[in-house]
Amino acid sequence: MTSGAVRTDLVIPDRVYTVSELTQVIRLDLEQGFPRVWVEGEISNFKLHSSGHRYFTLKDKDAQLQAVMWRSDGAKLKFDVKDGQQIVCRGRISVYVARGQYQMIVDAIEPKGKGALQLAFEQLKEKLRAEGLFETARKRALPLRPKTIGVVTSPKGAALHDILQTLERRKARVRVLIYPAQVQGEGAAGQIVEGIDHLANRPEVDVLIVGRGGGSIEDLWAFNEEKVARAIVRSPKPVISAVGHEVDFTIADFVADIRASTPTAAAEMVVATGEAFAERIENLARRVQQSARIAVQKLRHEVTALAQNRIFENLRSRLLQAAQRVDDLEQRAREAIRGEKDKLSAARARADKVEARAFSLFRLALSKRVAAVDTLSAELHGRSPLAILQKGYALVRTADGRPVTTIEAVKVNDKVRVSFHRGEMRCRVEDIDPSKSIE
């Protein structure tokens, strides 16, 4: 019998059929006549029932066909079916007896003009993008000095070999924890999720690398599964996605904190963060030393200015202020270094050694400059008029306070004030003898 022909052998002539009986005859005829058929059309009136079954209408410009896809077959779909999609369906023709309506029982659906996997990829990508999971703001930076790296990949794949070889070549002092997982085929996505959840919640793990080598979209599909993307997002530790070669992108790449083009590149990123941290420590040490030099130079200028000043009454106060500034500077240096130490709590012995050396140099430079300040202070004190007065000399000033430095500055009967180290007396000039002097 030609497919689609009416089977008259199923009908008994002159028999009176009930509606149900005739409908059953028609159903059997259609099911036997169209056991498998491919139909192309546009989806409309799509409904996903709570039972899991999918109901929709296939139509073109001239006709329409009711269709149903049972839950067991629908669970195999890689993409979401929506109204307006142009698809190609495979199935059999049957009759829905309760309504006397023929329909297509669909067991497979392919999008027209685009592969099912590619469409599923685009649909999930758009869904996660709408949730904000690709936003840079929610992604975390890699740790500066990771001590332990978690790796989720196949223990037999080239990806693990490339990661370990790169870390060994760079002499990276890190511990590697490996969670063996299938990265391709049935069940791969579930194992990847288990690996991410396990390693991400181990307290000693600082960062995760999740990846495999390159391949076709079918080979890489486990990393396009929504549950893998969700596991990466909920990980409390930063995740590097290292899937495929440079031209291959997966959903995991978009949601991960960092995307590496290859597993080798992922290992290089981990090592590079440590080197960047060491460079930061060295820059910090140079900044501390430079700050110390600038502070000491500033103090030297202040002391020089004091030494050139003719008025010495406030010398001691200014020197004390300078000393206080030295104390303040030292305290600020301590706080600055302490602040950096808080930020860089993960630093190892090298950071502590550089910090101690920088602080030692700073204290040594300060002690030398403070000693110089004390020496200058003592010298200035020795030249102070007050110190001279302590040796028995006196300071003569006119009644209005001007210093008398020559005999010509006074006349007979002028009133003068004579100041000693302690005390002062007022006198009147009775006689002037310009010829006398102290030899």
Average pLDDT value for residue range 304-332: 62
DSSP 332-343: HHHHHHHHHHHH
Residue 9's pLDDT is 57
Tokens describing residue 263: 């597993």
User: Is 230 a residue whose pLDDT tops 90?
Assistant: yes
Average pLDDT value for residue range 239-243: 92
Q: How confident is the model at residue 1 (pLDDT cuts 50, 70, 90)?
A: very low
Residue 361's pLDDT is 76
Higher pLDDT, 50 or 290: 50
Residue 195's pLDDT is 95
Integer angstrom CA distances of residue 222 from 93, 190, 230: 34, 9, 13
Q: Helix crossing, 226-234 with 188-200: angle to 10°?
A: 0
Q: Output phi, psi for 4, to 5 deg.
A: 100, -10
The DSSP H or E segment spanning 386 is helix 385-389
User: Is 238 a residue whose pLDDT tops 90?
Assistant: yes
Q: How confident is the model at residue 391 (pLDDT cuts 50, 70, 90)?
A: confident
Task: Name the pairing type of β-strands 239-243 and 258-259.
Answer: parallel
User: Is 304 a residue whose pLDDT tops 80?
Assistant: no
Looking at 93-97, 111-115, 232-236, 427-431, which range is the least confident one?
A: 111-115
pTM of the predicted structure, to 2 decimals: 0.46
Tokens describing residue 26: 């028609």
What the chain holds in terms of domains, given with CATH numbers, is 8-113 (2.40.50.140), 135-261 (3.40.50.10550), 274-383 (1.10.132), 384-439 (no CATH)
Tokens describing residue 102: 């023929």
Rounded CA separation 43/399 (Å): 115
Rounded CA separation 277/280 (Å): 5
Strands (E), 14-147: 37-48, 54-59, 64-69, 86-96, 101-111
Tokens describing residue 107: 């067991």
Task: Name the pairing type of β-strands 424-428 and 415-419.
Answer: antiparallel
Tokens describing residue 15: 């028999």
DSSP 120-151: HHHHHHHHHHHTTTT-GGG--PPPSS-SEEEE
> Length of the chain, please?
439
Average pLDDT value for residue range 238-245: 86
Residue 439's pLDDT is 56
Residue 204's pLDDT is 94
Rounded CA separation 126/132 (Å): 10
Residue 210's pLDDT is 95
Mean model confidence pLDDT for the chain? 80
Average pLDDT value for residue range 215-238: 90
Q: Tokens 């740790």, residue? A: 143
Residue 2's pLDDT is 42
Average pLDDT value for residue range 187-206: 95
Q: Residue 326's closest CA among 368, 366, 372, 380?
A: 366
Highest average pLDDT, of 140-144, 207-211, 282-286, comes from 207-211
Cβ distance 207 to 152 under 8 Å?
no
Q: Tokens 């039972």, residue? A: 51
Cβ distance 194 to 225 under 8 Å?
no
DSSP 322-388: HHHHHHHHHHHHHHHHHHHHHHTTT--HHHHHHHHHHHHHHHHHHHHHHHHHHHHHHHHHHHSHHHH
Higher pLDDT, 131 or 405: 131
Q: How confident is the model at residue 6 (pLDDT cuts 50, 70, 90)?
A: very low
Residue 88's pLDDT is 84
Average pLDDT value for residue range 424-432: 88
User: Is 283 a residue whose pLDDT tops 60?
Assistant: no
Residue 269's pLDDT is 87
Residue 205's pLDDT is 95
The DSSP H or E segment spanning 295 is helix 263-308
Residue 188's pLDDT is 93
